[in-house]
Amino acid sequence: MTIPAPASSLAAYLDATAERRLARYLEFLRIPSISGIPEHAPDCRRAAEQLAADLLAGGLEHVEVSETGGHPIVYADWLNAPGAPTVLLYGHYDVQPVDPLDEWLAAPFDPVVRDGRVLARGASDDKSNISIALSAVEAVLVTRGALPLNLRLLFEGEEESSSVHLEPWLTANAARLAADVALVADSGFFAGNLPAITVGLRGLAAAEIHVRGPFQDVHSGVYGGAIENPINALASIIASLKGADGRVRIPGFYDDVVALSDAERAAMATLPFDEEALRAELDVPALVGESGWTTMERRSARPTLDVNGIWGGFSGEGAKTIIPGRAHAKITCRLVADQDPTRIFELLRDYVREVAPPGVRVDVVAMGGGRPTLTPEDHPATQAYARALGATFGRAPVFVREGGSVPVAASFESILGMPVTVMGFMPPNGNFHAPNEWMDMANFETGVRALACFFDEFAGRPAG
């Protein structure tokens, strides 16, 4: 048995090894693991193998580069804390393409350290979070010989190209992935560099509406007045989807929405958020939406329905006197817990059929979707992580709900049946997916200490 070392030796170790940590992180950033571009497949594999080698060197066990049919998944664990909780930590080693290259201040895969920032593709999303996790685990294992809890690490290489092989892999490996909680380390801080924990993510339900009128475009003088116009019909269908109050009028649409508590609404109202700046940035005359809810609530904790595209008929230069034969629209709904994408699609389909005017045929086609997620703020892992952030960054984190989706979070919930906390250390304005992606190295270093502290907090290990 290893004699527990005082916590100060962990701190001393971390202080003494910052340079080495940075060097390894920069080495990782030099691998152009762009998952969406086939020529980079060997680079994705190289990143996976490098990661596996680092995990092995860091003291992790059962390290494996697991084949998926696409880019491999890297798995490792450390399960020698019987009776202690088990955490499954997820990250992704693949990155987005780098275009437009001429807007980068330095080559995207030749990382530059300047003014406390590292500039490179993947510097924040998501190689920062992976490197932080690896560093925290390694530091605890080196200084104490053991982790206070059980840990499984799972790093995929296809997050930026739709995670096509992740769900089948999770399903096939579900039995050996058991854990009390999944930490999805693919997120970051809130505006103004506030430590943040993402407790809610919206889901999605997508559909297309196809309206068919006459067998082809026909003369509007000869037939106008005798038949329904598919574009007019589509417009009336779309107009009936939402009321003037911004509420979706589909019966049952809101039935499964988990209500925001008064405390959650109060906390959300305290988040730093400049409505006027957002309005100006978007160059719109006003911010509008569902009545009764604030802008912050509407864009993160309430469901939406939006038309994404509409087409049909003649849109070329000049006039063309036709009644079009077809009209089409694409629609997506952003969903919140506990709305089910399939159920929402069915409600939409039935309502569209009901409100469609006579004289046209209407098809509503499902175009996929994903489930929303919601982690209770009082979940022990969330609370432990909040305490760790507070202790290391010196300020309590904010709990936020993201308006977008992180499909893997829903996969962990639905396939592995475990609660999910979405976390990470990326700067809120870190240019992910864009030119000049960067990471704040002070946050990187404090992040390593925060994760190490989280392990103790969640395990209930006394401080010191």
Question: Which residues make up the interface to Zn ion (CB under 5 A)?
Answer: 125-126, 186
The span from the CA of 181 to the CA of 324, in Å, is 54
> Residue type for 270, please?
T
**β-pairing verdict for 420-423 and 181-185:** parallel
CB of 198 to Zn ion, least distance (A): 12
Phi and psi for 318 in degrees, rounded to 5? Answer: 80, -165
> Residue type for 191, please?
A
The span from the CA of 242 to the CA of 235, in Å, is 12
CB of 31 to Zn ion, least distance (A): 16
CB of 404 to Zn ion, least distance (A): 11
Largest CA distance in the chain: 93
Q: 437 vs 44, 93, 130, 372, 429, CA distance in Å?
A: 19, 15, 16, 27, 9
The span from the CA of 464 to the CA of 451, in Å, is 16
Phi and psi for 203 in degrees, rounded to 5? Answer: -100, -170
CB of 187 to Zn ion, least distance (A): 8
CB of 406 to Zn ion, least distance (A): 8
CB of 413 to Zn ion, least distance (A): 18
CB of 428 to Zn ion, least distance (A): 14
The span from the CA of 308 to the CA of 242, in Å, is 15
What is the H or E stretch that residue 272 is in? none
CB of 125 to Zn ion, least distance (A): 4
Which residue, 158 or 186, is less far from Zn ion as judged by CB?
Answer: 186
Q: Are 35 and 158 a contacting pair, CB within 8 Å? A: yes
The span from the CA of 334 to the CA of 297, in Å, is 13
Say if residue 163 is exposed, middle or buried (CB neighbours under 10 Å; 0-12, 13-18, 19+): buried
Which residue, 77 or 126, is less far from Zn ion as judged by CB?
Answer: 126
Q: Are 452 and 136 a contacting pair, CB within 8 Å? A: yes
CB of 424 to Zn ion, least distance (A): 8
Q: Return contacts of 429-433, CB within 8 angstroms, 24+ apart.
A: 430/123, 430/124, 430/125, 430/188, 431/124, 432/96, 432/124, 432/125, 433/96, 433/125
> Could you tell me the two tokens for 138?
């390694």
Which residue, 168 or 404, is less far from Zn ion as judged by CB?
Answer: 404
